[in-house]
A = this chain, B = another copy of it.
Amino acid sequence: MAERISRNTFIMDKPPSVHSYAAIVGKKEGDGPLGKHFDAVYQDTYFGQDSWEKAESEMLRLTVLKALEKGGLTKEDVNYMFAGDLLNQCTTTSYGLRDLEIPLLCVYGACSTMAESLLLASLMTDSGIGGNVAAVTSSHFCSAERQFRFPLSYGGIRTPTAQWTCTASGAAIVTPQSDIGPYIKGVTIGKIVDMGVCDANNMGAAMAPAAAYVIKTHLNDRGLTPEDFDLIITGDLGRVGGTLLIELLAEEGINISSRYKDCGTMMFDYENQDVHAGGSGCGCCASVLCGYFLDKVRSGEYKNILFCATGALMSTTITQQGESIPGISHAVHISHGKD
């Protein structure tokens, strides 16, 4: 059974296995530097459906099925799942996972969702009550853009700090510890941090303080330093937020600059893909984790990574009322070895 060593940090007793995982992305993400690592790249933005919301739902469904297939599992082998997405009323989760008939606990953490679902799956499994639990999430450029910003056909000019919501989905199946790694060693539940950023086109700045909080808390609670990890990875701070995070932690005497990566920054080729401050969206870090990093931890290329998905808890309604954007981030320590 996991041990709670502080208010909100937990160490696993018998680190659960990430038994299998999959990532599926759209064309632009497939054209990026990580393209060859994903399980599938769809050239059709609609994924064979007739709306963007249905497209995203289909992408999520396909990703869960791929993760099951890669792990030699059927949907009946998964006891329940933690899932969420960016669309209003978690449309993608409800419609994409509807036909799987797997008991569902839907979560919402904006772009922090993959860390939230993965930490809950891990805590449940390590507590001996979980069984096989899936953690899944997704985002889609077209469905997100019209919901959060402007209709695509409006052709609005994007600001330099704006990020590009990735069309991408990731799924991981967490099981009781087996010989199959990687393993989840510890987690920290984040809290809302709001430093007053009001610009919906500068989400990186809104999220960076929450990431700084959870990284500092995780390290301090466990008596670790950045050097204990090969990499400290944020979800989608992008170039603006990533720079800010390094500065915020440096002010606390924590230097992560030599081992810092951001999934949103890694997803695209800045020179040629016109994504401004980088990729974003729930599916961004979920697909980079499940398509790229988990393989590298499984192989031992990385021994220990700290995965900190970052969410901007913005609301289109209340942002228009002048409110600032709260951020949240949760941390998950993923390790090559069991011990």
Contact = CB atoms under 8 A, between A and B. Distances in A.
A90 interface: yes
Contact of A94 (B79, B93, B315): B315
Nearest to A2: B129
A103 B318 contact: no
Nearest to A110: B89
B109 A51 contact: no
A195 to B, nearest CB: 11
A197 interface: no
Contacts of A98: 192, 194, 326
Contacts of A109: 105-106
Interface stretch (A120-128, A241-249, A261-269): A120-128
A150 to B, nearest CB: 15
A281 interface: no
A164 interface: no
Contacts of A120: 105, 120
A152 interface: no
A84 interface: yes
A44 to B, nearest CB: 18
- The copy count of this chain in the complex is 2
A79 B4 contact: yes
A189 B80 contact: yes
Nearest to A102: B191
A179 interface: no
A107 B108 contact: yes
Interface centre among A7, A93, A129 (most CB of B within 10 A): A129
A314 interface: yes
Contacts of A53: 315, 317-318, 321
Interface of A: 1-4, 7-8, 10, 50-51, 53-54, 79-80, 84, 87-91, 93-95, 97-98, 101-110, 116, 120, 123-124, 127-131, 147, 189-192, 194, 313-318, 321, 323, 326, 328
6 contacts: A51-B318, A54-B323, A89-B108, A93-B108, A105-B116, A106-B313
